Amino acid sequence: MIALERVNARAGGFRLTDVTFAVPQGGYGVVIGPAGSGKTTLLETIAGTIRATSGRVMLGGDDLTHAPPERRRLGIVYQHAYLFPHLDVRKNIEYGAVSTAAAAEVAERFGVHVLGDRRVESLSGGERQLVAIARTLARQPEVLLLDEPFSALDPRTRNTARRLLRTIYFERRFTVLQVTHDFSEAGLLGDIAIMLDRGRVVQQGDPEQVFRKPASPYIADFLGAENVFAGVAQPIRAEAPDWIDAAESEFTQNAVAFTTGALTFYALGDVVPGPTHAVIRAEEISLSAEPAMSSVQNQFRGTIVEIVPGGALTRVTVDAGGTPIVAAVTSRSMRELGLSVGVSVVAGFKATAVHLC
């Protein structure tokens, strides 16, 4: 568990002010905020390398506000790997490992065991980051702090790193706090999302609620996503419907059935089975009076419950079996379809429009 109670801290001219939140034991928290909002300062305050001037930092139920970093049973992975350049890959991974066997095991899991004797300067960015994660996990921390660890990676390596980390997370169930400045890079959304701005927590809570009901226009603008669904993903490659091969043959990812509430829709993604989130931008959702005969496979009938005009696009909320789906519709479509509150419509979107994270 990570719990901060009215924590204040100072790093140079920057201040964290009255930061309070809790990530449950084995939970996954995401700190979101723009560059300069204090995300790294927050992580380093939890890590103990920046001293909290007041408040309490609780880790695993213990008050470790004044404990040195080495006693906090946590690990930190930065955006830049910070591999020790004077040590080879193996020695980096073994640096703080609970045992040589643990280091070897995690190195193999992340596929970096083959890099054993290589100097870190010779590694690619992706390899460095995988080694950095392996080095941290070899210590078997109870709390893992991730400071935008995937943001500098290419998409393929990013997906690999996320999947590997997520697999180990589900196995070991350590507590994670990941920071990001970009929702699309959040990667793994979890039990709590914390919005940070200028050193203060401006909103926190269930990620779905934070994304769906931003507390301020600033947060809404920053997040830029209206449809965020918590649910369960299940890869269905072996039983993939025909359309996966026919229409989406260019994709090498797995077909995934994602269930949220009463809805199950198809997506594409390289995910571990289990709880996850799906995000669909409102612009990707089309509305029609009847189901469309097209490649759009995710179609759900529902009733319009809210219409919010906003410039060129109007936000239309459709209640589909208890799940609200927000579509961005042009004023021409509004007129042609005769959309108004209470009208029955079909909301449709492609599998490729679904972002699993």
Partner 1 sequence: MALPDPSRLEPSTARQSSNPIPRAIATIAVAILTSLFLLFILAPVVGLVSAGGAHGLSSLASDAELRASLLLTVGTATMATFLGVLGATPLAYLLARRAFRGRAIVSALLDLPLVIPHPVAGIALLLVLGRNTPLGVALLAVGLRVANSPTGIVCAMLFVSAPLYVSAAREAFARVDPRYETVARTLGDDAWRAFRRVTLPLSARGLTAAAVVMWARSVSEFGAIVILTYNPKVASVLAYDRFTSYGLSETLPVAAVLVLLALIPLAALRALRGGEPLPR
Helix (H/G/I), strand (E/B), else coil: 120: helix
Contact with partner 1 (CB under 8 A): which of 23, 44, 193, 279? 44
Residue whose token pair is 């198809």: 266
Q: Please say whether the beta carbons of 57 and 7 come within 8 A.
A: yes
Cβ-Cβ contacts under 8 Å for 193 (sequence gap 6 or more):
29, 30, 31, 32, 204, 205, 206, 207, 210, 211
Kindly tell me which residue out of 37, 52, 72, 134 binds partner 1, with binding defined by CB under 8 A. Answer: 72
* Residue from 27, 69, 235, 324 in contact with partner 1 (CB under 8 A): 69
How far apart CA 38 and CA 197 sit, in angstroms, is 7
Does residue 48 belong to the site contacting partner 1 (CB under 8 A)? yes
Check if the beta carbon of residue 329 is closer than 8 Å to that of residue 313: yes
**C-beta of 135: minimal distance to partner 1 in Å?**
7
Q: Which two tokens stand for residue 173?
A: 């169930």
Among 35, 61, 68, 250, binds partner 1 (CB under 8 A): 68
Q: Which stretch binds partner 1 (CB under 8 A): 75-83, 188-196, 208-216, 236-244?
A: 75-83
Count the alpha carbons within 13 Å of 190 in the hemisphere toward its beta carbon: 25
Choose between 40 and 260: whose C-beta lies nearer to partner 1: 40
Shortest Å, Cβ 52 to partner 1: 15
Buried b (16+ CB within 10 A) or exposed e, 146-155: bbbbbebbee
By CB under 8 A, is residue 90 in contact with partner 1?
no
Site map for partner 1, 121-160, x if CB under 8 A?
Answer: --------------xx--x-x---x---------------
Among 82, 159, 182, 234, binds partner 1 (CB under 8 A): 82
Comparing CA positions, the residue from 263, 239, 247, 235 lying closest to residue 322 is 263
From the list 46-54, 101-109, 327-335, 349-357, the region that binds partner 1 by CB under 8 A is 46-54
| Using rule CB under 8 A, residue 74 touches partner 1 | yes
Q: How far is the CB of 75 from partner 1 (least distance, A)?
A: 5
Between CA 98 and CA 156 the distance in angstroms is 30
* Closest-CA residue to 21 (of 37, 36, 43, 40): 43
- Least Å distance between CB 88 and partner 1? 13
Of the two residues 145 and 219, which places its CB atom closer to partner 1 in the complex? Answer: 145
Residues lying near partner 1 in the complex (CB under 8 A) are found at: 44, 47-49, 68-70, 72, 74-76, 78, 80, 82, 84-86, 95-96, 135-136, 139, 141, 145
